[in-house]
Structure 1
Amino acid sequence: MNGSHAAPARPAQSYRETYASWQADPDAYWLDIAKGIDWIKPPRQAFDAAAGIYGRWFPDATCNTCFNALDRHVRDGRGQQVALIHDSPVTGTKAKYTYAEMLDEVATLAAVLQDLGVGKGDRVLIYMPMVPEAAFAMLACARIGAVHSVVFGGFAAKELATRIDDAEPKVILSATCGIEPTRVVEYKPLLDGAIAMARHKPQACVILQRPQAEASMHAARDKNWRMLVAAAKATGRKADCVEVAATDPLYILYTSGTTGRPKGVVRDNGGHMVVLKATMDQLFDVGPGEVMFCASDVGWVVGHGYIVYAPLIQGATSVLYEGKPVGTPDPGAFWRVIAEHGVKVLFTAPTAFRAIRKEDPEGKYLAGHDLSRFRALFLAGERADPETLKWAEALLKVPVIDHWWQTESGSPIVGDPMGLGLLPIKHGSPTVPLPGWDVQCLDEGGRPVEAGKMGAIVLKLPLPPGALPTLWNDDARFREAYLTTYPGYYNTSDAGFIDEDGYVFIMGRTDDIINVAGHRLSTGGMEEVLAAHPAVAECAVVGIRDALKGEQPCGFVVLKAGVTQSPAEVERELVALVRERIGPVAAFKLAVTVNRLPKTRSGKILRATMKKIADGEDYAVPATIEDVGVLDEIGAVLKGRGLG
């Protein structure tokens, strides 16, 4: 049965009132939200403007994140509630862990880490697939005050080595393999290769042997995960929560840097918990005992925040899904999970829904699934094109909430706050800034632009709790990358505009604004037009070199399954459509049909790489690419058009 329930009706002005209360007194506002966290030493001061690079939140408080995620719920009588559901269609297994069971697993693993010499402030690198042990590992580090750095499982050895050298982990936690729909990805050879390359060597590696790929162990370094945990359980070894400062780091999460050297985004303990609590209440409207399904990976910031930490801090139930939106086994995979586990909200990337729409444009696989407890779909991770949003709304008959944020922000910046009363939808906009964020749009000289005009999207300092205070061991690079271009503001490197109602429109990265014969044009605006064509499943527009105009737009399109029109016919219609909707100024004359678009594992389209291929430039294969073969396919298609 299809769910048709709207979100709880609340007056829209409650968002306006909440935002105004934050603006009027930010310190009082955040101290009030902080009451929802169990502190060891509660904060008396919200913000210290003199600390750190732009100030630090809750500088006098101490806490433990793991205690807030697990212990307090067991203490308060919720120990038998399910905390984590592991649903793995790629292995055909499912498991549920109550809060009490999860606390037992985490406290035991934390003791194992202590036995290996890991203490407060030490780093632990986690290189894991989507298994419950990945979440246990993160929480075990938090429990003992260690700083975890999760690297997406299957990352190339060279990229993994750079992260080992930067974080200098005392211990690495890993598994023998990850499982894709069509193959097993062996992690152990990649890990061994990375350690051989790295300057820094961990003292130990704890390896989870999975039946799909047993791996040989390095005698002096590698330990068997299950054997260590079993031994600790046999002797009753459990670690207590360690008191840390609210400003102490919880984790380092690496994001790609333009220099090829990864940027280690630092997240602190106290501010992180406070802002996650706020977003669960205000944006996602998920309360204790309710089920949240975040279809991401623990290797990304979305997985850190909304698979592991936020649902557990809130006392909700989180679904940890080891599968894909399509192919495990079909485009109805998400509907099965939502129905089977009573999911209230799903949070995933727009690319997942484009994949579902491509394979099942009529939504036939929804039939037979009871979505009566499903209340909203949240999309983030890249720009959500209006056509995909409208398709999902029509199919699911629940609010589809686009929201925008970054690894650096640690939590959503702009969104339609379901917990405060949904605002009117404007397709193409993730809606309005959430309390705590002062979002502005500036021109190249740092001056505010008028409503509706394109510019750089920036965030006025100070950033709210949970945002990065710096980069790991690199304050200078933090300032250079984020704070110098627009003094007094954090530079998001995203471009867009803010309309007269205060709605934010993110049109792409600043380098996705192309210059065609002196006209600054948004590739995102052209993508909207292409995506509106009924034959198009997904698309990407990049600016390619043009001797006369400087750049010209090139649209890459993937057609839906079952389209009867020829690719050439669709391409002609797309050129005409852009001319009609945007005008001759766009100079859009080139639409290219491809079988698939190159993407990162998190679903972001590799537009910059596509541009280099089209321009015939050398390019480095991005470390995060999902399938390298797509680049060769793109190159072959472009050569057939006389490009590249």
Structure 2
Amino acid sequence: MTIHSLNPNAPVRTDAYAEIWQRSITNPEQFWLDSAELIDWDRKPTRAIHRHSDTEWEWFPDGMLNTSYNAVDRHVLAGHGDRTAIIYDSAMTGTQSRISYAELQEHVARFAGVLRASGVEKGDRVLIYLPMIPEAIISMLACARIGAIHSVVFGGFAANELAVRIDDASPKVIVTTSGGLEPKRVVEYLPIVDRALKASNGSVQTVIVADRDLIPGSAADYQGGEVRYLDWKEAEQQAEPVAPVPVEATHPAYILYTSGTTGNPKGIVRDTGGHAVALTRSMGQIYGIKPGDVFWSASDVGWVVGHSYIVYAPLLAGATTVIYEGKPVGTPDAGAFFRVVEQYGVKVLFTAPTALRSIRREDPELEGADRYDISSLEALFLAGERLDTETYHWANDGLHCPVIDHWWQTETGWAITANPRGIELLETKPGSSTVPCPGVDLRILDADGTEITEPGVEGNIALKLPLPPGYLKTVWGAPERFHSSYLAEFPGHYSTGDSGYVDKDGYVFIMGRTDDVINVAGHRISAGAIEESLGQHEAVAEAAVVGVRDNLKGHRAYGVVTLKHGVEVAEDALQRSLIAHVRETIGPVAAFRDVAIVSRLPKTRSGKVLRKTIRQILDGEDVKVPATIEDRSTLDEIVALGPADPDVAHTGAIVTQIAS
């Protein structure tokens, strides 16, 4: 297949994907009105989009619907109530259970009654602070059922981070539990919630607690204060079921916080109608999922992947979703994912490249996969970080199913680029996330905002406005941040903050964040390219490359790597080998001479490597430890490396802050 151009004025292409993509760009009004037929409406829209200005628009402006009805009730009414909606598998407790669509309908309707009895109405906010348990899905759908706006905060976030989100969203109700389980520790949630409430603005009137028998703490422990605490089970038993409440398609569905450059998180707002239409369409056209198929997104409900592809999209499509409480390794071993695939007949698995690298590090020969029958697995989708070619080949050769890298962001809610398996499975190019999804008008721009049309020339990746349905609507309470953060840099476009290029066949290659480019003595070097080179070395499991200050060259590349399980080699010999390998594959222009070996890379709980934090430590800067960090002790190894510049000394504040 040859895709001749991403320009919508180019000749119409003949392959199935190209025809659909072309139609979505040249006639978005009809394309998205047709797509709206995939869901049920209380009032069907007569138009797809209304543009208020070049930077303001609304999808399906005259439509009304309810997402909870579309995700649950309509499947029951169609006679599929006995179909499994949710498979819950906790590797932490050994609990395994199934919830049918009819059972889910009952739980969601009753918990919506709990929220209604707690004073929650359409437009009110509900903060959900839960681990990977079914109550997380139930509470999100219950909010949607009554038109409340949920804001899910990753379970285990510190009290101050929770308080910041309470102050910004001003929720009436918090839904939480006694705690969450990690492989080596128990996280008690109720003390965290209590501290957050004392530090916040006082908007919260009620806390609803789902008890977990293995973790101490209950609603009864916090009675008598200004905030009312309710036990989930008791409240649900007493509640009256609530019918779905139709809301405008433009009504906010949820707020999801992502990190901001100012240090204050940005509340990404998703609308209701565009969100439901886009996610339903994506399940068929991107993932190739049909009603009744088992789809597993090995993420967390606290992240955007969890919102879109654990909760909403699979259920909107009438599929079965897996909610898994565990890790890719250590619960109990590197075969954990493959056990789940076999046990439940998973058709499509969606996870992050870092999960694969964790498995590869522990089990480089994929012996864990050989222990299980994973023949049900038709595709493995990856997103969250750039998929290096070494990991791609390892998974593709070992799992014998298509390995599909696709690219998207918290802000977009679903893919920007992907291999559209449900339309046609295109030829894979390692290192590429394939092609723009239907509805996405992707452009490569230079620093001045001029479009780069020459294939293979790297620039800023931007999306021509308006953004497709389901992408962010605004920033909660701060529309000016929406404009300044995403629309101001390149007028008429959404700036993704990523750099990359499009090759002669129309395939998109993401090279990394625009601030990951290292300027070495005037030469612009991609940190992602050096990481790719390091990852190809036979001893390396994972690599992170950052640009540190250099008195002579301005900046230089500094690599930090972890090794595959069982690799034993002298550190100085390996460093020389890695440096030689990079110089051979990238060239002497990279001037690569700094590489350190650590046991683990610092990461967020969603698996993203904390490159900015690594760079700040190596440059001797003040460091604010991200609230999303999975394990603070991993930063100790970076501190122990010492400053990259010998003339710079670490301040005690950095070490103290990390240690705390």
TM class by smaller structure: over 0.9
The answer on whether the counterparts of 2:619 and 2:643 sit within 8 Å (CA) in structure 1 is no
Alignment of 1:117-136 (within 5 A): 117-136=119-138
The answer on whether the counterparts of 2:617 and 2:643 sit within 8 Å (CA) in structure 1 is no
Computed over aligned residues only, the root mean square deviation of the Cα atoms, in angstroms, reads 1.3
Match of 1:192 in 2: 194
Alignment of 1:341-380 (within 5 A): 341-380=344-383
* Pair 1:542-2:546 in alignment: yes
Alignment of 1:492-571 (within 5 A): 492-571=496-575
The answer on whether the counterparts of 1:126 and 1:134 sit within 8 Å (CA) in structure 2 is yes
* Pair 1:256-2:259 in alignment: yes
Match of 2:148 in 1: 146
* Pair 1:227-2:249 in alignment: no
1:305 to 289, 305, 308: 308
Separation in structure 1 between the aligned mates of residue 634 and residue 331 of structure 2, nearest angstrom: 21
* Pair 1:591-2:598 in alignment: no
Separation in structure 1 between the aligned mates of residue 360 and residue 31 of structure 2, nearest angstrom: 41
SS at match of 1:351: helix
The answer on whether the counterparts of 1:217 and 1:223 sit within 8 Å (CA) in structure 2 is no
Separation in structure 2 between the aligned mates of residue 169 and residue 549 of structure 1, nearest angstrom: 50
Call closer, same or farther: CA 1:512–1:94 in 2, change over 3 Å. same
Code of the residue aligned with 1:335 in structure 2: it is F
* Pair 1:467-2:471 in alignment: yes
2:332 to 294, 319, 329: 329
Residues 161-181 of structure 1: CA deviation (Å, up to 9, x unaligned) = 010001000100001101001
SS at match of 2:565: coil
Please, which moves more after superposition, 446-455 or 367-376? 446-455
SS at match of 1:66: helix
Q: CA deviation at 1:214?
A: 2.1
Alignment of 1:70-149 (within 5 A): 70-149=72-151
Separation in structure 2 between the aligned mates of residue 382 and residue 639 of structure 1, nearest angstrom: 26
1:173 to 172, 175, 178: 175
Call closer, same or farther: CA 1:212–1:640 in 2, change over 3 Å. farther
Code of the residue aligned with 1:170 in structure 2: it is K
Alignment of 1:342-491 (within 5 A): 342-449=345-452, 450-491=454-495
Residues 399-446 of structure 1: CA deviation (Å, up to 9, x unaligned) = 000000001111101000111111111111101000110111111111
Residues 252-311 of structure 1: CA deviation (Å, up to 9, x unaligned) = 000011111110000111000111011111110011000001000000010000000000
Code of the residue aligned with 1:554 in structure 2: it is Y
Match of 2:38 in 1: 36
Separation in structure 2 between the aligned mates of residue 415 and residue 325 of structure 1, nearest angstrom: 24
User: Runs ≥4 in structure 1, deviation > 3 angstroms?
Assistant: 638-644
Q: CA deviation at 1:363?
A: 0.8
The answer on whether the counterparts of 1:385 and 1:428 sit within 8 Å (CA) in structure 2 is yes
Equivalent residues, number: 630
Separation in structure 2 between the aligned mates of residue 310 and residue 624 of structure 1, nearest angstrom: 25
Code of the residue aligned with 1:607 in structure 2: it is R
Separation in structure 2 between the aligned mates of residue 325 and residue 566 of structure 1, nearest angstrom: 29
Please, which moves more after superposition, 215-224 or 243-252? 215-224
TM-score when normalising by structure 2: 0.94
Please, which moves more after superposition, 572-581 or 339-348? 572-581
SS at match of 2:596: strand
* Pair 1:291-2:294 in alignment: yes
Separation in structure 1 between the aligned mates of residue 40 and residue 54 of structure 2, nearest angstrom: 24
Code of the residue aligned with 1:55 in structure 2: it is W
Match of 1:5 in 2: none
Q: CA deviation at 1:365?
A: 1.1
Separation in structure 2 between the aligned mates of residue 495 and residue 400 of structure 1, nearest angstrom: 23
Match of 2:7 in 1: none
SS at match of 1:418: coil
* Pair 1:162-2:164 in alignment: yes
Task: Name stretches of at least 5 consecutive residues in structure 1 with no aligned partner.
Answer: 1-10
Separation in structure 1 between the aligned mates of residue 536 and residue 432 of structure 2, nearest angstrom: 16
Code of the residue aligned with 1:79 in structure 2: it is G
Separation in structure 1 between the aligned mates of residue 532 and residue 84 of structure 2, nearest angstrom: 41
The answer on whether the counterparts of 2:618 and 2:644 sit within 8 Å (CA) in structure 1 is no
* Pair 1:217-2:227 in alignment: no
Residues 26-73 of structure 1: CA deviation (Å, up to 9, x unaligned) = 110111111011000001010001279421100000000000000000
Code of the residue aligned with 1:471 in structure 2: it is V
The answer on whether the counterparts of 2:548 and 2:644 sit within 8 Å (CA) in structure 1 is no
SS at match of 2:56: coil
The answer on whether the counterparts of 2:619 and 2:645 sit within 8 Å (CA) in structure 1 is no
Q: CA deviation at 1:239?
A: 0.4
TM-score when normalising by structure 1: 0.96
SS at match of 1:427: coil
SS at match of 1:485: coil
The answer on whether the counterparts of 1:300 and 1:602 sit within 8 Å (CA) in structure 2 is yes
1:280 to 283, 288, 296: 283
SS at match of 2:208: strand
Q: CA deviation at 1:24?
A: 2.4
The answer on whether the counterparts of 2:158 and 2:192 sit within 8 Å (CA) in structure 1 is yes
Separation in structure 2 between the aligned mates of residue 498 and residue 545 of structure 1, nearest angstrom: 31
The answer on whether the counterparts of 1:293 and 1:345 sit within 8 Å (CA) in structure 2 is yes
Code of the residue aligned with 2:612 in structure 1: it is A
Q: CA deviation at 1:247?
A: 0.4
Q: CA deviation at 1:567?
A: 2.4
Match of 2:632 in 1: 628
The answer on whether the counterparts of 1:12 and 1:420 sit within 8 Å (CA) in structure 2 is no
Code of the residue aligned with 2:318 in structure 1: it is G
Please, which moves more after superposition, 206-215 or 509-518? 206-215
SS at match of 2:355: helix
The answer on whether the counterparts of 2:497 and 2:513 sit within 8 Å (CA) in structure 1 is yes
Separation in structure 2 between the aligned mates of residue 423 and residue 52 of structure 1, nearest angstrom: 34
SS at match of 2:475: coil
The answer on whether the counterparts of 2:419 and 2:435 sit within 8 Å (CA) in structure 1 is yes
Residues 53-107 of structure 1: CA deviation (Å, up to 9, x unaligned) = 4211000000000000000000000000000000001011011000000000000
Q: CA deviation at 1:640?
A: 9.8
Match of 2:577 in 1: 573
Call closer, same or farther: CA 1:269–1:640 in 2, change over 3 Å. closer
The answer on whether the counterparts of 2:544 and 2:560 sit within 8 Å (CA) in structure 1 is yes
SS at match of 1:526: helix
Task: Name stretches of at least 5 consecutive residues in structure 2 with no aligned partner.
Answer: 1-12, 651-660
Q: CA deviation at 1:189?
A: 0.9
The answer on whether the counterparts of 1:12 and 1:423 sit within 8 Å (CA) in structure 2 is no
The answer on whether the counterparts of 2:248 and 2:272 sit within 8 Å (CA) in structure 1 is yes
SS at match of 1:534: coil
Code of the residue aligned with 1:562 in structure 2: it is G
The answer on whether the counterparts of 1:497 and 1:504 sit within 8 Å (CA) in structure 2 is yes
